Amino acid sequence: MDMGSLDGRVVLITGAGRGIGREEALFFAAEGARVVVNDPGVAVDGTGGDPSVAAAVVEEIVARGGQAIANTDSVADWHGAQRMVNAALRAFGDLHVVVNNATIERNRGMADLTEEEFDDVIAVKLKGTFAVVRWAARHWRERFEAGDRVDRAVVNTSSGSGLLNPLPTQASYAAGNAGVAAMTVVGALELGRYGVRVNCVSPSMARTRLTLQVPGMREEPPAGRFDPLHPAAIAPVAAYLATAACPLTGQVLSVRGGSVTVNHGWSRGAHVHKDGPWTVGELAGRVRELPVDDPFEKLADALGGALGLAGRTQLQQMVNALLDQGERSGGTPG
């Protein structure tokens, strides 16, 4: 068998039953990794559960000659996150890489989004990412203090909705993804002392259950042509970040088809200055001098090429339609 870029690496991938996570699990296994396929098999909104979802990916990996086990714990469960880390240790004797891919969505305008809906998304996207890394980090710290100097890696997953173009009706999803990117940098700074690198991929316009309702996402190229919207395009980037030879840490990489872009996050722009405290009137005059982004224009620019949107009017119509849909689907003031 040919050597793979991940030979000898034990990898835990959350949300690995479908979409991007499934493609990562298959790709990592093909590169020689032993994989823990975590997925409780829930719906897009986090409800329900189906253990056969993770099991099917494991069967596919094993049928191709790879090694994998299934885990159906939820990342939102603090001790469930611990159990999935322990499952890797029991099955394969170690854990080298965590790929945090699990997420859910509850799309509704801020006037209709309920406390429970907001909390559920944050629990999976943000707290879940933290919980899995936390339990993995405790194991890695113990191994490092025992003299084990093996490269370890975390690959988090964010989204363009949160980093580049937060989308209407995605207050919780965008906030969670932005939080994951910030936590990636914190993790890199903290865990490097134990030989752990922490990076993040940010898929943009990938065809998954979460994006199928976006206009244009269901269109596929002719057979045999590269499909830039296929979730498989994310897997090689995540795999590179997981390799022992990768030098990167603290980086957030956007991935759209064959393009990989380094993100620089929030950065300082133009400013006004005064030696002393401002008055409201002074600020009213001076702030007008600063160049600022119009959020509608920025979103139209980010989505225009893919969605065929043209101008602020059409974008506002799309936003209104999304908000109206959220109201009709049961938004409550509670």
Is the residue at 196 inside a domain?
yes
| CB-count exposure of residue 214 (10 Å: 0-12, 13-18, 19+) | middle
Which of 238 and 292 is assigned the larger pLDDT?
238
Number of independent structural domains in the chain: 2
pLDDT at 332: 44
DSSP bridge pairs for 200: 156, 252
Closest to 16 measured CA to CA, from 65, 88, 78: 88
CA separation for the pair 263, 276 (Å, rounded): 34
Question: Do 284 and 240 reside in the same domain of the chain?
Answer: no
Is the residue at 268 inside a domain?
no
- Percent composition of the chain: helix, strand, coil (DSSP 3-state, to 5): 45, 10, 45
Asked whether the CA dihedral 45, 50, 53, 55 is positive or negative, the reply is: positive
- Percentage of the residues of the chain whose pLDDT score is greater than 70: 83
Question: Do 80 and 187 reside in the same domain of the chain?
Answer: yes
The vertex-205 CA angle with 204 and 211, nearest 5°, equals 120
Average pLDDT, integer, range 152-178:
91
Question: Do 126 and 198 reside in the same domain of the chain?
Answer: yes
For the ranges 125-139, 148-162, 209-223, 241-255, which has the lowest average pLDDT?
209-223
What end-to-end distance do the CA atoms of the chain give, in Å? 58
DSSP bridge pairs for 197: 153
pLDDT digits (tens, 9 = 90+) for 167-225: 888 899 999 999 999 999 999 999 999 999 999 999 976 655 555 455 454 566 667 77
CA separation for the pair 151, 242 (Å, rounded): 9
Is the residue at 275 inside a domain?
no
Domain that holds residue 298: 280-328
pLDDT at 330: 54
HSE of 111 in the Cβ direction (CA atoms, 13 Å)?
A: 8
Which of 169 and 70 is assigned the larger pLDDT?
70
The vertex-320 CA angle with 327 and 263, nearest 5°, equals 105
Question: Do 215 and 318 reside in the same domain of the chain?
Answer: no
Is the residue at 108 inside a domain?
yes
CA separation for the pair 260, 257 (Å, rounded): 8
| 194 labelled catalytic | no
Question: Do 66 and 201 reside in the same domain of the chain?
Answer: yes
Closest to 256 measured CA to CA, from 130, 125, 165: 165
Is the residue at 3 inside a domain?
no
Question: Do 290 and 253 reside in the same domain of the chain?
Answer: no
Question: Looking at 210, 236, 262, which one is the last position of a domain?
Answer: 262
Question: Do 324 and 179 reside in the same domain of the chain?
Answer: no
Question: Do 213 and 297 reside in the same domain of the chain?
Answer: no
CA separation for the pair 13, 299 (Å, rounded): 31
**What is the longest distance spanned by two Cα atoms in the chain?**
73
Does position 236 have pLDDT exceeding 90, yes or no? yes
Question: Looking at 262, 291, 310, which one is the last position of a domain?
Answer: 262
Alpha-carbon distances of 171 from 108, 109, 161, 215, 314, rounded to whole Å:
8, 8, 9, 20, 21
Instruction: Tell me the CATH number at 253.
Output: 3.40.50.720
The C-alpha R_g of the chain, in whole angstroms, comes to 21
Is the residue at 290 inside a domain?
yes
Query: In this structure, how many other beta carbons lie within 10 angstroms of the beta carbon of residue 272?
Result: 13
Is the residue at 299 inside a domain?
yes
Alpha-carbon distances of 9 from 16, 32, 94, 235, rounded to whole Å:
17, 7, 9, 16
Does position 70 have pLDDT exceeding 80, yes or no? yes
CA separation for the pair 37, 61 (Å, rounded): 10
Does position 64 have pLDDT exceeding 80, yes or no? yes
Catalytic residue among 56, 173, 206, 253: 173
Is the residue at 2 inside a domain?
no
For 51-111, the DSSP string reads THHHHHHHHHHHHTT-EEEEE---TTSHHHHHHHHHHHHHHHS---EEE----------TT
